[in-house]
Amino acid sequence: MSDRYASFANTAPGRTLVKRLGLPDPPRLRRYRLGDPLLPGPALLGAAPEGRLAKAVEEILTGAGVEVGPPDAESRQAAEPASGPTDGERSQRPAALIFDASGIADSTGLRALYDFFHPLARSLGPSGRVIVLGTPPEECDSPRAATAQRALEGLTRSIGKEFGRGTTAQLVYVATTADGPAAATLVSLESTLRFLLSGRSAYVSGQVIRIGAGAATAPDDWVRPLSGRVALVTGAARGIGAELAKVLARDGARVIALDIPAAGDELMRVVNSIGGEAVQLDLTAADAPVRLARHVADRHGQLDIVVHNAGITRDKTLGRMDPARWDTVLDVNLSSQERINEVLLDRDLIRAGGRLIGVSSIAGIAGNRGQTNYATSKAGVIGLVQAMAPVLAPREITVNAVAPGFIETRLTARIPVMLREAGRRMNSMAQGGLPVDVAEAIAWFASPASGGITGNVVRVCGQSLLGA
Ligand code: NAD
C-alpha cells in the first residue's frame, strides 16, 4: 500500500507546500541496501567520567569501518545555519552521536549529556543516529546511580521526537561487572550497534534495549550472519512474514515458510524467490504442533530460529463481539504459539543458541478501541517473552519480540481512511513503516551475535505516540 502523501511531500513542489502550510513532513528514511557502509558519515563518540563502554565501542566501530572521532570544533561548526545546509556542509555532518553514560553516578552528572549533545544537536545529518549507553538501573550500586541511569530514557525519547529528519534515538543498557562488560556482552553490543547505526533500524526509535551476558558468537561474515541457520517463519505468505522470509534468507538462513493451505500460491511464490521450503498448515489445527515437529525432525533435525509472525484481527467493540471473534484471535495470535513452543521445546527441536521471536503490536502496549481481543493476545505475546526468557536462558535460547506500529500491509490497508492517515502520521517519522523494517529488527534478534539480548520487546513504530 503506497503512501501517496509521503511521495508527494518528497518532491520539490511538495516540499514547498508542506513547509508553507506547516503540514507533516515525512522524511525519506535511510534504509539498508546490500553493500551499504554502516554509516554514511563519521560517528562522534563522547563519554561521562568513569564510563566503561566508550573504549570498547570505539574498537567495535573502527573494526566495522566507521570513522570515529571525539566532537571537535569542526563538527560543532557544521551545526545547521539558519538558511539550511549546503551540499558540501551536509557531507561533513556526523552521521551518529554516541554517548557512554554508563559511569554517571548521580543526577548532577547528567549535565555531561547536555554538554555533549547541546553543541552537536543541530549538526547531525539526515537519518542520523543517536545512541546513549547506560548501566541497567537494577545493577547500580546506589539509589542515586539507579536514578541517574533511569533518567537517560527521558533524554533519548525526547531527542527522538525533537531532532527530526529521520533521526532515531535509542538507549542501550549494557550489563557490566566490576571488570567491565563480559566478552559475550560485547559481541551482543556489536550486533546491536550494527543494527542501530545501519539503515536496518530506519523505523525504530525511542527504544530502550537491554544487553546481558548470554552466550553470543560473532559471525564469520556480518553480511550473512545467519549462514547455516534454519529458521521457521509462520504467516510467511504475505505482508511482514513474506518480507521476513526474504530478509532471513538474504542474511544466509534456510527458511521454512509456513502459512494456511488457502494461501498456498502466495506461499510458493515467496519460497521460490528465496529457495526456501513451504509448509502448508493451519496453526490452530489440533495436530499442527506435532506435524510441524515431525517436519523439522525429519528434514533438519533441529531449528535455530522460530518466528511466530502469523496473526489476525477480528475487530469489534467488546459489547458487540461474538465469542468466535475472541476465540480465533486469541488462538491464532497466542495460544497456538504456546502449544507449538511446548512441543518443539519438549522434543528438543530448538538448538542451544536458538532464538524464539514473537510479533506483538503497539495495540498490545497501548490498547485500542475495537481490539480488546487483539490487544489481549498481543499483550500476551509480551507476557510470553518476559516469562519464557529466564526459563530458557539455561538452554541458551533467547526470547524476544517486536511490537510493530503502523506498517503498510493488507492488514492496515483495511483500516478506515481517516484512522489510517492518523496512524501513519502520529509518530516521529510522520509515515508508516514498511514490512522490511519489522523484518530487519527480527533478523537482529535472530543473529548468533545477539545471544545477550533476551526478554526484550522492541517497538518498530517510528516512535508512535500511541502507548509512548
Ligand atoms: P497479514 O494479514 O498480511 O499476514 C498474516 C499472515 O498470517 C497471512 O499470510 C495469513 O494467512 C497467516 N495466518 C493467519 N492465520 C494463520 C493460521 N491459523 N495458520 C497459519 N498462518 C496463518 O498481516 P501482517 O500485517 O503481515 O502482520 C504480521 C504480524 O504482524 C501479525 O502478527 C500482526 O498482528 C502483526 N502486526 C502487524 C501490524 C501492521 O501494521 N501490519 C502492526 C502490528 C502488528
pLDDT tens digit sequence for 78-133? 544 444 445 444 457 999 999 999 999 999 999 999 999 999 999 999 999 999 99
Question: Which pLDDT band holds residue 179 (cuts at 50, 70, 90)?
Answer: confident
- Domain ranges within the chain, ordered by starting residue: 31-211, 230-460
**Burial track 126-154 (b if 16+ CB lie within 10 A, e otherwise):** bbbbbbbbbbbbeebeeeebbebbbbbbe
* 241 pocket-lining for ligand 1 (C-beta < 6 Å): yes
Position 153 scores a pLDDT of 98
| Residue located via cell numbers 498490545 | 364
The residues near 224 (Cβ < 8 Å, ≥ 6 apart) are: 251, 252
Domain 230-460, CATH number (from 1.25.40.10, 3.40.50.720, 3.90.25.10, 3.90.1720.10): 3.40.50.720
* 439 pocket-lining for ligand 1 (C-beta < 6 Å): no
Nearest to 207 by CA among 248, 164, 173: 173
Distance 245 CA to ligand 1 centre (A): 13
The yes-or-no verdict on residue 280 having pLDDT over 50 is yes
User: Are 203 and 435 in contact, with CB atoms under 8 Å apart?
Assistant: no
The yes-or-no verdict on residue 270 having pLDDT over 70 is yes
Rounded to whole angstroms, the Cα distance separating 379 from 334 reads 9
The yes-or-no verdict on residue 10 having pLDDT over 80 is no
CATH H superfamily, domain 31-211: NAD(P)-binding Rossmann-like Domain (3.40.50.720)
CB atoms within 10 A of CB 306: 29
The yes-or-no verdict on residue 5 having pLDDT over 80 is no
Q: Which of 5, 173, 203, 374 is catalytic?
A: 374
Ligand 1 mutation pick, 3, 240, 325, max ligand atoms within 8 A of CB: 240
What average pLDDT does the chain have? 93
203 labelled catalytic: no
Residue nearest to atom 27 of ligand 1 (CA): 240
Domains 31-211 and 230-460 share a fold: yes
* 407 pocket-lining for ligand 1 (C-beta < 6 Å): yes
Position 78 scores a pLDDT of 52
User: Are 206 and 463 in contact, with CB atoms under 8 Å apart?
Assistant: yes
* 437 pocket-lining for ligand 1 (C-beta < 6 Å): no
pLDDT in tens, 341-385: 999 999 999 999 999 999 999 999 999 999 999 999 999 999 999
Distance 423 CA to ligand 1 centre (A): 18
| Over residues 403-427, mean pLDDT | 89
Position 87 scores a pLDDT of 47
Q: By percentage, how much of the chain surpasses pLDDT 70? A: 93
Question: Which pLDDT band holds residue 55 (cuts at 50, 70, 90)?
Answer: very high
Residue nearest to atom 12 of ligand 1 (CA): 235
Q: How far is CA 102 from CA 113, 137, 194, 296, in A?
A: 11, 10, 20, 43
| Over residues 193-221, mean pLDDT | 97
Distance 238 CA to ligand 1 centre (A): 8
